[in-house]
Amino acid sequence: MNLVGNARSNSWRVSSPLELKGFYDAIFSHPDLAVYVIRVCDDGTSRIDDANTAVAELAKRPVDELFGLTPREGLIEPIADCLETNLRICLATQSSLQYERELDLPDGRLAWKTTLIPTARQAGEPVHVVAVTRDISYEARMASVAEHHEALLKGLGSTLPNIIYLYDLKSQRVCFTAGAESQPLGYRPQQFIEMGEELVPLLVHPDDQDRVAAHLEAPARLEDGEVSSVVDRVRHL
């Protein structure tokens, strides 16, 4: 039998092996997670005790061939190098560790995030490390595209005599601004961001605020390619 803690109620209940097996199987069968259990041997080496099919795909070999191998023996070199380096840190600190890595492979660029979770003997010395890896290649690509677009906007904005800005309709805040030699209306770009949802009340002429508010609601109803415009008076610093 095993004791499972409830952090919210600070109580404990008895968990049966069947419950734990169900939890274990659910994690291992998750299609988006590469999960492996690494045993820390008395001689200091680490060997793979268990792994799911996602790990086998990364290793380019059947999953049953991974059992008993060290990460270096079972995984491709760049992934093994990164895992072994972080395993040493995890074991030295006896605490969970999370890291990200990107790698160029024949099939394309791979980016992943791995969490290492050590378990401990009664004496406190780790005996196993559970590793959970998630593919974040799409997220990494989108972040790269966003950074590229932001750099282009900043470069364009620095040359424009007008002001350009990105306005978040949901939070009603300016997320990015440029133009007018990077001092739009005499303000620093960061000041627009710090104004938050008070931007319109603070800057727009009182007689124009209703018209601007209606204009800011319009984009939510626009189709792709449609344009909405408004003319209003704003306060210069």
In DSSP notation, 132-163 reads EEEE-HHHHHHHHHHHHHHHHHHHHHTT-SSE
Residue 122: both structure tokens together:
């009664």
pLDDT of residue 173: 76
Beta bridge partners of 130: 37, 117
Containing 202, the helix (H) or strand (E) segment is helix 199-203
pLDDT per residue over 163-210, tens digit each? Answer: 676 777 777 777 666 655 555 677 776 777 788 778 788 888 889 888
Phi, psi of 133 (to 5 degrees): -115, 135
Task: Indicate the DSSP class of residue 55.
Answer: H
Residue 155 pLDDT greater than 50, yes or no? yes
* pLDDT value of position 59: 83
* Contacts (Cβ under 8 Å, ≥6 apart) of 90: 96, 97, 116, 118, 126, 129
Q: Where is 203: in which H helix or E strand?
A: helix 199-203
Q: Answer for the pair 38, 128: CB distance below 8 angstroms, yes or no.
A: yes
Q: What is the pLDDT of residue 13?
A: 45
Q: How far apart, in Å, do the first and last CA atoms of the chain sit?
A: 70
Residue with tokens 């989108």: 142
Q: What residue has token string 């061939």?
A: 65
Pairwise CA distance, residues 212 & 228, whole Å? 11
* CB-based contact 100:136 (threshold 8 Å): yes
